[in-house]
Amino acid sequence: MALPTVGVLGGGQLGQMLVQAAYPLGVKVNILDAGHSPAKQVSYHSDHIDGSFKDPEAIKRLAAISDVVTVEIEHVDTHILEHIADQTDVQPSWTTIRKIQDKYAQKEHLHAHGVATAQSIPLSNPSVEAVEQASKTLGLPLMLKSRREAYDGRGNFPVRTVEDFQPALDALGKNKDLYAEKWADFRMELAVMVVKTKNEVLSFPTTETIHENSICKLTYTPARGVSDATSEKAQDLARRAVACFEGKGVFGVEMFLLKDETLLINEIAPRPHNSGHYTIEACPASQYDAHLNAILDLPLAAEALRLCEPAIMLNILGGDSPDSHLQFAAEARKHLRGRGRVHLYGKGQARKGRKMGHVTVTAPSMYEAETLMQPLIDYVDETAS
């Protein structure tokens, strides 16, 4: 009896952690990405495909040797996925990836299904006049966003005054499809990892996410200073949001918690997510285990997604020097002395702000976890210029 083979578009850190979860299951994972990509570094066999996960021919070759094709990034060619879906199972569905990869279309879809998001206006012909028009409806500040190819805030520009209209268009590219989003005056940002299986929609606990310069810096699970009722509401909203998309797998749902306790969806990722890394150490099944169980129709109990211990995750970002992330990792290991896990992804070149690894600590109480993690946060803040 053989388990199906999984093909993955993309071999970054999410693909790497997916491979690590697949090994104990005895599931073979074929990665399509560059030869030295992080996911391939932890998996040696001859069926990986070297090349771009945007290359249609390479995707077809991957499909031919895989029973299920999945993604670790949503910026993929969904027309090729639609084509290969005739011969291979694609999870989550290419229709879902197509809708989600256009952040405005994603919001329209959620809105049509009665799921609350920040009010958004598409700018089909981006110009100062179009931004001005949008600002009359949405007010200022507003967030100007790229509809596609956005990550780590790179497709966002906060527009605070009329003076920002032109710089925002210059920064995001006038020829790109943009949309304007109402400013969310949030108290906190929350994230929930949701698992869509063959016949159920399950959720991991509610996580507090802290972003700096639009990049996720820290996650705290359970979210601090959030009532049980709000935490339940966040999980319910996240499950409802994912339920209106087709297909199976894990989804990262990012939310704004406004000052009046209203919850709005910020965006959904159709894949494992940075805000779910903590699940590796803190839950019986990690988000990577859950993704594999969901796409392969393996049994998954709701209790497998519970939090065993409070957890904090700190991202290790590239700094000013090419090895500052390695210096930080050494510092973290010295401080933690085994009481937390340092993950390095094996990415070659560190660029400033590039995700190079992360640290997770768990402890019997959030206070103990905070006490253990705080010196590392201080170190990051002191060494950042």
Query: Exactly one of 45, 151, 198, 224 binds ligand ATP (CB under 6 A); which one?
Result: 151
Across the beta sheet with 178-182, the strand order is: 120-123, 178-182, 142-146, 156-159
For residue 78, what are the CA distances in angstroms to 40, 159, 363? 23, 32, 42
CB of 284 to ligand ATP, least distance (A): 26
- Please report whether residue 267 would count as binding ligand ATP according to CB under 6 A: yes
How many residues touch ligand ATP under the rule CB under 6 A: the total is 18
- Please report whether residue 181 would count as binding ligand ATP according to CB under 6 A: yes
Query: Exactly one of 11, 155, 205, 319 binds ligand ATP (CB under 6 A); which one?
Result: 155
Query: Exactly one of 189, 218, 290, 355 binds ligand ATP (CB under 6 A); which one?
Result: 189
Question: Mask: binding to ligand ATP, 197-236, rule CB under 6 A, as x and -?
Answer: --------------x--x----------------------
Distance CA 216, CA 282 (A): 19
Max CA-CA distance within the chain? 65
CB of 211 to ligand ATP, least distance (A): 4
Pick the piece of the chain touching Mg ion (CB under 5 A) from 54-62, 186-194, 265-273, 304-312. Answer: 265-273
**Which CB sits closer to Mg ion, 181 or 267?**
267
CB of 335 to ligand ATP, least distance (A): 27
Find tokens 């993929």 and name the residue: 76
CB of 143 to ligand ATP, least distance (A): 4
Partner interacting with residue 118 (select from ligand ATP, Mg ion, none; CB below 5-8 Å by kind): ligand ATP
Query: Exactly one of 65, 183, 284, 333 binds ligand ATP (CB under 6 A); which one?
Result: 183
Residue least distant from ligand ATP (Cβ)? 184
**Which CB sits closer to ligand ATP, 132 or 303?**
132
**Which CB sits closer to ligand ATP, 168 or 296?**
168
- C-beta separation of 18 from 279 below 8 A: no
**Which CB sits closer to Mg ion, 89 or 102?**
102
CB of 222 to ligand ATP, least distance (A): 19
Find tokens 């780590």 and name the residue: 152
- C-beta separation of 11 from 31 below 8 A: yes
**Which CB sits closer to ligand ATP, 35 or 225?**
225
Collapsing DSSP to helix, strand or coil, 204 comes out as strand
Q: How many CB atoms sit inside 10 A of residue 164's CB?
A: 19
What's the N-to-C CA distance of the chain in angstroms?
A: 55
Distance CA 360, CA 219 (A): 9
Distance CA 266, CA 316 (A): 24
Distance CA 30, CA 46 (A): 9
Query: Chain centroid to CA 126: how far?
Result: 27
Of the candidates 261, 236, 264, 241, the residue with the CA atom closest to the CA atom of residue 251 = 241
Prior bond of 205 cis (ω within 30°): no
Question: Mask: binding to ligand ATP, 113-132, rule CB under 6 A, as x and -?
Answer: -----x--------------
How many residues touch Mg ion under the rule CB under 5 A: the total is 2
Q: State the DSSP H helix or E strand holding residue 361, giving kind and residue range, or none if neither.
A: strand 355-362
* Strand 215-221, strand 311-317: pairing: antiparallel
Query: Exactly one of 80, 115, 121, 143 binds ligand ATP (CB under 6 A); which one?
Result: 143
Binding site for Mg ion (CB under 5 A): 254, 267
Residues forming contacts to ligand ATP in the complex (CB under 6 A) are 118, 143, 150-156, 181, 183-184, 189, 211, 214, 254, 266-267
